[in-house]
A and B are shown apart, each in its own frame.
Chain A
Amino acid sequence: MATISTALRHFKEPTKDQLTQIYFSIPPAPQTIGAPVNPQDEVEKMDINAVLSLGIAGEEDSYAGKLYIMPPYLAFASLDRKSVRFTIPLCTIRRVERLNARAGIYALSLATWHGVKIIVQLTSLRPTADLFCSLLRDALKVELQRGQMKAVKPFVKTCYSEVIAAAGSTGPTENEREDGSLINERESGSDSDAVYHGGLGLKYKFPGDAKKLREASKVKLWTSYLQTHGRNLTLLRYPQCTRLVQVGLPNRLRGEMWETLSGSIYLRFANPGYYEKLLVENAGTVTTSTEEIEKDLHRSLPEYAGYQHEDGINSLRRVLQAYSFKNPELGYCQAMNILAAAILIYMSEEQAFWLLEVLCDRLLPGYYAPSMHGTLLDQRVFESLVQRCLPMIHDHFQEVDVQLSVASLPWFLSLFINSMPMVFAFRIVDCFFCMGPKVLFQVGFKAILKINGEKLLKIQDDGGFLNLMREYFSNLGESAHPDSSDTRARAITRFQELLLVSFREFSVITDEMIQSERRKYRGEIIHSIESFSRRSAVRNLKTLGRFTKEQAGLIYDALYRAMCMAPPPPAAPPPPTLVNSGDGGAERIETRIGLKTFKIFLSEIATWARDEKIVMNGFQQRIDRDVAEHEFIDRLFYFWDTSCRGALSLQDLVLGLDGVMFNDLMENIEWFFNIHDKNKDGFLTKDEVLTLSETFLFIFRFEVGDAYLGAVSRFMTNAFEYGDTLLPERGESGPNGEPLSPQTISPNQPYLNLATFRMVVLADEVLESFYETDLSASFKLELMPDLDLPALPANGLLGDIWSTIATDTNKKMFHAFTDEIGKTIGKHQVIHRPSIGRYTTLEEPKARESLVTPAMRHSTSKSSLRESSSTSPTLGSSSTTTLASAKSTSSTTLLPSDTGNTSTSTSETSLLSTSTSIGSSGGPHSPPPPPASSISPSTSPSVPRIVQVANAALMERTPFAIDDAKDDEDESEDDFDDADEDLDDDDQVMDEVDAFLEAHDSGLTDADRQVAKDLLRAEPVK
């Protein structure tokens, strides 16, 4: 029924490097996913302390910060990480000059594509600065070679900001309405400026009233900003930029600014043509996702004109489908349709596609995944932040059992777009792309706090809470202070107030804080998702067989563990059937595992399906487990694959196990027989008898002593004797009633039926007990006891290190390391754990009276067996004895007896060939553990590695979260009083802009500032 996913288990906290990359919106390098990164292949990254000044005197302050080279990008962030920053593709840097400045000052002048000059003073030590420069030079060269410089021009042309900056005009151009949409679309289509990307809004108008939105003023402000600070690929983000975003982006520029601020523009730039190609390649593909998308196309912002036309619907379809093709694992999640529909109003399909990618991948990680773990996690984080910052409300909600997320979940999932009037939601979205996911938390908080007072504390249940929120959101456009005598104050809407206060009062909520909270709750969320899907998987089983729900749960667990180790390919819908079964079968996607995962699964459950070595090395005693390889396991896989799909579902596994775990003696014999009767004709062929014997030997491979080995030999002897004896009765007796000469029986001919097989098996005490109880009991659902604990203190720093380094590979290194020491001090010991372990005595249990008369019996076979048993070595004394080696000895001892025997019968040779093959067919595990020498090369470097890993783990601890609660003190540096003019539009916008003014610490002393100023006049070094 359900799909089972282990994706969550594979989550890795981002490294420091990755966090920097995320901060700068730098797209992840394409191929590094999954594949181990070769450090030599990696382009070198470096950061350096620097002071940034804009090459136009007086335009902006200088800011101290860090300059990063992360090819193919150059990035800068001021010390507070928010005042000033940029991310610039190296290929847009046209010119780099070393400036001739005062002694001891090392400065570069960079000219970008848009003619903006940036001056960076490298304030680190000289050699560091030199190194940085040479890296920069190399990286620029690489970009030149890649031909990226040439790509800039055509790309930049697709950006509307170019039009704005070039026009420099105020107000709409002739072909534009006030809201930025086009008056005559045709005309622009043939126009040269039609190359730039834009959304449905151009044709179907933008939501909201342009006058009220003060579009013209906003455009004017942006025009001058973009002219002086670069744009699209080369935008420099100074405080003014953030403030302008906070008052709301102008319609026409909105889409592009979203992609610039979120960094999706870099993806579009780096992958020209990708979107179109993806669509072409997948044209006509039908998946569950495309079906789900289809259902929702007409249900996405249906009130917007663009979606009442096929144009809009088609765009939406293409974007959502393309994303589902790009990321089939995520596919499509409801709410994405609303986001996509919203952004398509402002951006082209290609822009929207890449923005969606950034949204799903980086900004809202895991929100739309099949398990929605990101959503659940952030809801948990949100709750914990409310608990911390608004304890009153949290306590009240606890008391009346109201869940915060009934209201907040949709806010987060659809970025408030269907929770409040669109014009307001888009303002929040503006801020979200500019300042990151924390905005959602901040606004969410504010929304709660705003109505906080009495109202929230009066809420009695979820429903009341939801209604209250709904009411608040629907009145956002009203004045926040309707009774104020000040017209200005009255003009402030509830929404403006919401934003202002959100950012001011909750600027303590930082990205770092959210990160660290996520880290805190991730385990909890994963656990609850996993136990939920476990419950539903078990519930959705059509039949439990004879298992209890708990037992089925244990089977699920084993399957899950196996899937963690060997994830099966993503669940795909079953191949389409011609006949529509009508039971909706075609809709259901079910997780199925292949042979590889099955082997691991079985090794979790069946004792003989794993190789267990007990290793003692003086430091620790542990059990090393390996997955066994044997044809029998493959056979079992196909035996259980009743629907012949080459893959097993949880249901198949449950039924398969049900078919053996509850069996009695007779049922087990039959089960075993059936597995080996490939064509299901009720007869084993001679080959199959041999295979069956091999299965025995495989299952018994680690049994101590000779009891099992002897039993198998007797089985084979008897089986062939019976088989041969009974052959004539099947109508092929020789002239004298003698059995036909064995050579004439083809190995593929039906040979042994179930009754005979049963007889042979029951003739042996060991095999009988095997079928009576041991076989069924060799399947154990309970978790294997884990002896894997290190002999290290389990708590304290070392314990911490252990838990951080306790990845599989590191554990292995650790084990190898301790083994190594154990060997040098002579305490290393390995014992194979037997799978059955009933008969452990060295002497062979008595065989039952044979049913075949002594006359019918080949004496040689018996004697050879005796010989083999007597020659096998005894256990215990030698420290690395394994039964594998014991077996190979026994088979070799058999060989001479064979060569010495002239009357070779078929049965005998086959027996011999079988046992010889076991020596080698034991596969990779049969050779005794390699001697010390083969391990040592890997262990010696492993010691420093462990230390490294531990250090890295320490480094990655988050710094204390709340470290920049300093802002907002001198909020009032407003220039309200500089003029007496009336409420002009521009002014109003500026008022609003100013309201967002925060103290931006440039991080510089006056002296530093002077140096920076001087640099503006410095000449390049020749």
Chain B
Amino acid sequence: MADTAAGSVDKSVQVKLVLLGEAAVGKSSVVSRFVSNEFQPNKEPTIGAAFLTQKCRLEDRVLRYEIWDTAGQERFHSLAPMYYRNAQAAVVVYDVTKASSLEKAKSWVKELQRQANPNIVIALAGNKIDLVQLSGSSSTGQTASESEDEADDATATPGETTTSGVDPESLRQVPREEAQAYATEAGLLFFETSAKTGEGIVEIFTEIAKKIPIEHILAAARGTGRPGAAGGRAGASGQESSVNLDGDANKPKDACNC
């Protein structure tokens, strides 16, 4: 892994990404699924914000996501600008089993569109989709296979809604169509995800990577003379990303390669 990092330092582009959304919708879980492919059922609430990094390959480029996972409770709201300032991407998360969380997500989107970096790429993620799917073998397996070829139309095909079954689906409070319609109208990327099963997680970051105006960032970085910083920092922050890319190399890399 260390080699990979060293080799790609020159080409790597830093992307600052912030996660926003109501408390307990699963922001931290989404991040830890993406960064270390783990899911921890009882995660402590985030106080202030957490910082993690993960690399993602896109064509010949390596994106280095610097992820700010923020606290969800309303009263931490006034701290958020500290974290989303200069962010190039944002993932706004809601919980598909909780209607109010979509409202909160909308208000985050509104705030980002007005206050944040004007070119910010925003993705909307409806998390905990596992709760509204039929439990059992199918969903996880299906997800894995789907995610391979679904990347292009991840936002379009409501593939899993066909499984909408008797019981679990009744937990759903936000219909996919409704959120999709809102996302389209507001110009957001849209995904339904599960940090628990891993469904849709990598896709978020891949699609964001595609949409990020990389040249723009590079130019900006050159302007401020900051790209070199990446190397120095990678050394300092030992315990970040690397392990995971190794242990679980295929998933993120493949996903990002498309």
Tell me the complex Cα distance, A460–B225, Å.
11
| Contact status B23-A334, CB under 8 Å | yes
Tell me the complex Cα distance, A42–B44, Å.
46
In the complex, what's the smallest C-beta–C-beta distance from B101 to chain A, in angstroms?
7
Task: Report if B71 contacts A (CB, 8 A).
Answer: yes
| Contact status B237-A295, CB under 8 Å | no
Q: Which residues of A contact B53 (CB under 8 A)?
A: 463
Which of chain A's residues 516-545 have a Cβ closer than 8 Å to chain B? Answer: 529, 532-533, 535-536, 539-540
| Contact status B42-A333, CB under 8 Å | no
- Contact for B114 among A370, A539, A587, CB less than 8 A: A539
- Contact for A406 among B48, B74, B232, CB less than 8 A: B48
Tell me the complex Cα distance, A368–B71, Å.
14
Q: Which residues of A contact B100 (CB under 8 A)?
A: 583-584, 586-588
Of B104-112, B118-126, B196-204, the stretch lying at the interface with chain A is B104-112
Q: Which residues of B contact A471 (CB under 8 A)?
A: 237-239
| Contact status A299-B44, CB under 8 Å | yes
A337-B45, A458-B232, A463-B237 known; A532 vs B82 contact (CB < 8 Å): no
Tell me the complex Cα distance, A455–B110, Å.
39
In the complex, what's the smallest C-beta–C-beta distance from A534 to chain B, in angstroms?
12
Tell me the complex Cα distance, A292–B98, Å.
14
A467-B239, A586-B100 known; A409 vs B78 contact (CB < 8 Å): no
| Contact status B75-A299, CB under 8 Å | no
Task: Report if B51 contacts A (CB, 8 A).
Answer: yes
Which of chain B's residues 85-139 have a Cβ closer than 8 Å to chain A? Answer: 98-104, 107, 110-111, 114-115
A292-B23, A586-B100 known; A371 vs B75 contact (CB < 8 Å): yes
| Contact status A295-B24, CB under 8 Å | yes
Tell me the complex Cα distance, A135–B233, Å.
66
A292-B73, A334-B71 known; A467 vs B47 contact (CB < 8 Å): no
A376-B78, A584-B101 known; A539 vs B47 contact (CB < 8 Å): no
| Contact status B103-A588, CB under 8 Å | yes
Task: Report if A1018 contacts B (CB, 8 A).
Answer: no
| Contact status A536-B23, CB under 8 Å | no
Tell me the complex Cα distance, A1018–B3, Å.
81
Tell me the complex Cα distance, A533–B115, Å.
13
Q: Which residues of A contact B75 (CB under 8 A)?
A: 333, 368-372
| Contact status A458-B45, CB under 8 Å | no
Task: Report if A47 contacts B (CB, 8 A).
Answer: no
- Contact for A410 among B23, B48, B102, CB less than 8 A: B48
In the complex, what's the smallest C-beta–C-beta distance from A451 to chain B, in angstroms?
11
- Contact for A467 among B24, B49, B114, B236, CB less than 8 A: B236
In the complex, what's the smallest C-beta–C-beta distance from A566 to chain B, in angstroms?
24
Task: Report if B244 contacts A (CB, 8 A).
Answer: no
Q: Which residues of A contact B229 (CB under 8 A)?
A: 460-461
Q: Which residue of A lies closest to B107 (CB)?
A: A540
Task: Report if A403 contacts B (CB, 8 A).
Answer: yes
Which of chain B's residues 204-254 have a Cβ closer than 8 Å to chain A? Answer: 226, 229, 232-233, 236-240
Tell me the complex Cα distance, A413–B237, Å.
24
Chain B 133-169, CB-CB to A under 8 Å as 1, else 0, gives 0000000000000000000000000000000000000
Chain A 396-415, CB-CB to B under 8 Å as 1, else 0, gives 00000001011001100110
Which of chain A's residues 291-340 have a Cβ closer than 8 Å to chain B? Answer: 292, 295-296, 298-302, 333-335, 337-338
- Contact for A455 among B23, B81, B115, B236, CB less than 8 A: B236
Which of chain A's residues 335-373 have a Cβ closer than 8 Å to chain B? Answer: 335, 337-338, 368-372
Task: Report if A418 contacts B (CB, 8 A).
Answer: yes
Tell me the complex Cα distance, A418–B49, Å.
12
| Contact status A584-B99, CB under 8 Å | yes
Q: Which residues of B contact A403 (CB under 8 A)?
A: 82
Q: Which residue of A lies closest to B52 (CB)?
A: A463
A1-B107, A295-B24, A334-B23 known; A536 vs B77 contact (CB < 8 Å): yes
In the complex, what's the smallest C-beta–C-beta distance from A646 to chain B, in angstroms?
24
Q: Which residues of B contact A529 (CB under 8 A)?
A: 78
| Contact status B111-A406, CB under 8 Å | no
- Contact for A295 among B23, B74, B114, B239, CB less than 8 A: B23
| Contact status B44-A302, CB under 8 Å | yes
- Contact for A460 among B98, B103, B110, B232, CB less than 8 A: B232
| Contact status B42-A299, CB under 8 Å | yes
Task: Report if A61 contacts B (CB, 8 A).
Answer: no
| Contact status A334-B79, CB under 8 Å | no
Tell me the complex Cα distance, A295–B74, Å.
14
Tell me the complex Cα distance, A414–B46, Å.
11
- Contact for A584 among B82, B104, B114, B233, CB less than 8 A: B104
In the complex, what's the smallest C-beta–C-beta distance from B20 to chain A, in angstroms?
13
Task: Report if A477 contacts B (CB, 8 A).
Answer: no
| Contact status A410-B78, CB under 8 Å | no
Task: Report if B38 contacts A (CB, 8 A).
Answer: no
Tell me the complex Cα distance, A295–B45, Å.
9
Q: Which residue of A lies closest to B45 (CB)?
A: A334
Q: Which residues of B contact A292 (CB under 8 A)?
A: 23, 73
| Contact status A372-B76, CB under 8 Å | yes
| Contact status A406-B51, CB under 8 Å | yes
In the complex, what's the smallest C-beta–C-beta distance from B71 to chain A, in angstroms?
6
A334-B71, A468-B236 known; A300 vs B48 contact (CB < 8 Å): no
Tell me the complex Cα distance, A299–B236, Å.
30
Task: Report if B32 contacts A (CB, 8 A).
Answer: no
| Contact status A467-B237, CB under 8 Å | yes
Task: Report if A462 contacts B (CB, 8 A).
Answer: yes
Q: Which residues of B contact A961 (CB under 8 A)?
A: none
- Contact for B44 among A338, A372, A464, CB less than 8 A: A338
Q: Which residue of A lies closest to B103 (CB)?
A: A584
Tell me the complex Cα distance, A462–B115, Å.
20
| Contact status B233-A461, CB under 8 Å | yes
Tell me the complex Cα distance, A376–B233, Å.
28
Tell me the complex Cα distance, A471–B235, Å.
12
Task: Report if A392 contacts B (CB, 8 A).
Answer: no
- Contact for A458 among B81, B102, B236, B238, CB less than 8 A: B236
In the complex, what's the smallest C-beta–C-beta distance from A683 to chain B, in angstroms?
42
| Contact status B51-A301, CB under 8 Å | no
Q: Which residue of A lies closest to B75 (CB)?
A: A370
Q: Which residues of B contact A409 (CB under 8 A)?
A: 47-48, 79
Task: Report if A466 contacts B (CB, 8 A).
Answer: yes
Q: Which residues of B contact A406 (CB under 8 A)?
A: 48-49, 51, 82-83
A467-B51, A467-B240, A583-B103 known; A460 vs B42 contact (CB < 8 Å): no
Task: Report if B36 contacts A (CB, 8 A).
Answer: no
Task: Report if A470 contacts B (CB, 8 A).
Answer: yes
Q: Which residues of A contact B74 (CB under 8 A)?
A: 370
| Contact status B78-A533, CB under 8 Å | yes
Task: Report if B8 contacts A (CB, 8 A).
Answer: no
Tell me the complex Cα distance, A301–B110, Å.
34
Q: Which residues of B contact A459 (CB under 8 A)?
A: 236
Task: Report if A36 contacts B (CB, 8 A).
Answer: no
Task: Report if A582 contacts B (CB, 8 A).
Answer: yes
| Contact status A335-B47, CB under 8 Å | yes
A333-B73, A334-B76 known; A300 vs B232 contact (CB < 8 Å): no
A292-B23, A463-B233 known; A299 vs B79 contact (CB < 8 Å): no
Most buried by B among A370, A464, A466, A471: A464
| Contact status B47-A414, CB under 8 Å | yes
- Contact for B51 among A338, A463, A533, A539, CB less than 8 A: A463
Tell me the complex Cα distance, A20–B160, Å.
65
Q: Which residues of B contact A462 (CB under 8 A)?
A: 51
* Contact sample, A vs B, 25 pairs, CB 8 Å cutoff: A296-B45, A299-B42, A334-B23, A334-B46, A334-B71, A338-B47, A369-B75, A372-B75, A372-B78, A406-B48, A406-B82, A409-B48, A413-B48, A458-B232, A463-B51, A464-B233, A464-B236, A467-B240, A471-B237, A539-B114, A583-B103, A584-B99, A584-B103, A586-B100, A588-B103
Using CB atoms and an 8 Å cutoff, list the residues of chain A in contact with chain B.
Answer: 1, 292, 295-296, 298-302, 333-335, 337-338, 368-372, 376, 403, 405-406, 409-410, 413-414, 418, 455, 458-464, 466-468, 470-471, 529, 532-533, 535-536, 539-540, 582-584, 586-588
Q: Which 4 A-B pairs have the closest CB atoms?
A: A584-B100, A467-B237, A302-B42, A587-B100
